[in-house]
Structure 1
Amino acid sequence: MPAVTVENPLTLPRVVSPADAVPRPVLTVSTAPAGFEGEGFPVRRAFAGINYRYLDPFIMMDQMGEVEYAPGEPKGTPWHPHRGFETVTYLIDGTFVHQDSNGGGGTINDGDTQWMTAGAGLLHIEAPPETLVMSGGLFHGLQLWVNLPAADKMMAPRYQDIGGGQVQLLTSPDGGALLRVIAGELDGHQGPGITHTPITMIHATVRPGAEVTLPWREDFNGLAYVMAGRGAVGADRRPVRTGQTAVFGDGSSLTVRADETQDAKAPDLEVVLLGGRPIREPMAHYGPFVMNSEAELRQAFEDFQRGRLGTVPAVHGMA
């Protein structure tokens, strides 16, 4: 799991939680069910079964892979529509190519992120490049859906390419944790992702036996999803492992600890930390659309069927 790393984390700025910070309790730990998405790549549904009041403003998150493809096996998604939210694709291993009907697109590799604001609507596709399909190889990443408030749901679409070298790298006081701030702010350090809904997204690598306590905005919710490894969360050290999501309660800091012993395949605890300011608006979600009412959902489907969300661009000069 390479993503973005450094040889000596102690060369990085260190994050310190205030002494008077109030620890966030762990309300629940859930296990993600496995399934398939797009053309058949394996996923874990990180937020399945969690009450939306704890997720808001996040809608869903899939861990894609980790899977080692044989030649000819790599898969992606076909062209499909979105409206009313943002998709965040964070790639840890492999290569993914994005293209959309608004002219956005690019290629992401280890540690890169694609941030697509669907807004009023578009069509897009995410797929491995032809060279990777032919060769096969390791594929592993995350896709997160972030809701937009009603005032922004019909905004113009936007695309951001966030290279792994752009993320803000931080560490814990003892250097036992490497913190990659992809979006939002942590202890005064800003990540590169531009968000409409205020959020923080961090990929943390915690070495065996290490513990990190982070300051956390009190007006944000708090979630921790374990991509790999074993550890504990919260002041009471609630056990967590690969494929599990911890939901934190109120407070101004959250704690993550890695077990002393990890598996050979996952030498460290790899966890994604998410926080966001809840939107607290009605949500109507069906398939690729996230709106505020059933009427708006019906309109989204009608607009898609009538071609108002864009058209598939020509490929290789072919209409």
Structure 2
Amino acid sequence: MMPISEEASGKKRLVVKKLFARQQHEGFGAVVRRSIGRFELRYFDPFLVLDEFSVTAPAGFPDHPHKGFETVTYMLEGEILHEDCEGHKGVIREGGLQWMTAGKGIVHSEMPSSNGNGTTTHNKGLQLWINLSSKHKLVMPSYQEIESKDIAEAEKDGVRVRIIAGEWNGVKSKICTRTPTMYFDFTLSPGSKISQHIPLHWNAFVYVLQGHGHFGDAKSQHSTAAAHHMLILGLGGDRLEAWNGSDSGLPLRFILVGGEPIGEPVVQFGPFVMNTQEEIDQTIDDFENFTNGFEKARHWKSQATSDLGFF
């Protein structure tokens, strides 16, 4: 993957579409703000879904399958317990990351944690679904998990960046990406700005988490955005300019995500993403009959889901 620095000198990328991610219910009692994967933006190659989720026990995302893509879970507040039918268990804590390759198939649960004294905590995060090319769709499931303290960070001129995937100013993420991807969590203090390089042919977007900022070109009607807004960046340029011009003194926090388009047909049926309808039909049959990647799901139920009374 090519290095990605914080500076670029070419043509600016402009915001060509702005969406407000409204709340909707997902899983069992969870609330998500979906920006990619909704009616107005079904797919943004290679990105399938982006959810900003909010969940408090006993609500959550009990046992469910995935196949043909990767999920990237980035916790902003609280923690999520994760289990799968292959025997993997873990906790994604605040500021931490799980990059899961579902590949040929996995059944797992994602449930909120309590603070240990019987009371519940509020849990917030982002989950991004990244498509896999046909040559990677049937790889064995795997995980890359990084605690908050181990995520690469850098600071310069009022800009703080957490490097989820890619490279910034010589600082590299530990994550290896099958679908070439950059994923940065930026916090800009008032008056600060970035000029961030994006590979020319990659698709890229911004999702604002906090504050109010300017992106691309100040003259554009889509250039300003506040929390819960998704900004789709057009092609034809190799850098994003963003700045915090707030008079309130509040920081601007947003993620910038880019990826190399796969350019293959996409057929999706809920949590299954393949290239043809025939492959989807076969996947549904495999899931229902516990074959071709789902063998271990036949007698499996997650402990976290059982403890919260779903079974």
Q: TM-score range by the shorter chain?
A: 0.7 to 0.9
Q: CA deviation at 1:161?
A: 1.2
Q: CA deviation at 1:104?
A: 2.5
Q: Is residue 235 from structure 1 mapped to residue 217 from structure 2 by the alignment?
A: yes
Match of residue 7 from structure 2:
17
Distance 2:153 2:203 in 1: 22
- Among 185, 193, 196, the residue aligned to 1:203: 185
Q: Is the 8 A contact 1:219 1:277 kept in 2?
A: yes
Q: Which residue type is aligned with residue 190 of structure 2? A: P
Measured against aligned partners, the alpha-carbon deviations of 1:44-89 in whole angstroms (never above 9, x if no partner) come to 0022345456x21110110012x7x5xxx45211101110000111
Match of residue 233 from structure 2:
248
Distance 2:302 2:45 in 1: 37
Distance 1:243 1:161 in 2: 26
Distance verdict in 2 for CA 1:307–1:184, change over 3 Å: same
Distance verdict in 2 for CA 1:221–1:136, change over 3 Å: same
Q: Is the 8 A contact 1:74 1:132 kept in 2?
A: no
Distance 1:82 1:314 in 2: 15
Aligned length: 291
CA RMSD of aligned residues (A): 2.2
Match of residue 6 from structure 1:
none
Distance 1:314 1:241 in 2: 38
Match of residue 285 from structure 2:
302
Q: CA deviation at 1:130?
A: 4.7
Describe the SS at the equivalent of 2:205: strand
Any gaps of 5 or more consecutive residues in structure 2?
A: none
Match of residue 27 from structure 1:
16
Q: Which residue type is aligned with residue 272 of structure 2? A: F
- Among 134, 138, 151, the residue aligned to 1:167: 151
Measured against aligned partners, the alpha-carbon deviations of 1:109-168 in whole angstroms (never above 9, x if no partner) come to 111011110000010001123546931223210011000000110111101211112222
Describe the SS at the equivalent of 1:195: coil
Distance 1:139 1:247 in 2: 27
Match of residue 36 from structure 1:
25
Q: Which residue type is aligned with residue 159 of structure 1? A: Y
Distance 2:30 2:42 in 1: 26
Q: CA deviation at 1:26?
A: 1.4
| TM-score normalised per structure 1 | 0.85
Distance verdict in 2 for CA 1:189–1:269, change over 3 Å: same
Q: Is the 8 A contact 1:186 1:215 kept in 2?
A: no
Measured against aligned partners, the alpha-carbon deviations of 1:173-215 in whole angstroms (never above 9, x if no partner) come to x1x2211111123344321222110001111111223211111
Distance 1:208 1:202 in 2: 19
Describe the SS at the equivalent of 2:284: helix
| TM-score normalised per structure 2 | 0.87
Describe the SS at the equivalent of 1:22: coil
Q: Is the 8 A contact 1:182 1:193 kept in 2?
A: yes
Percent identical pairs in the alignment equals: 33
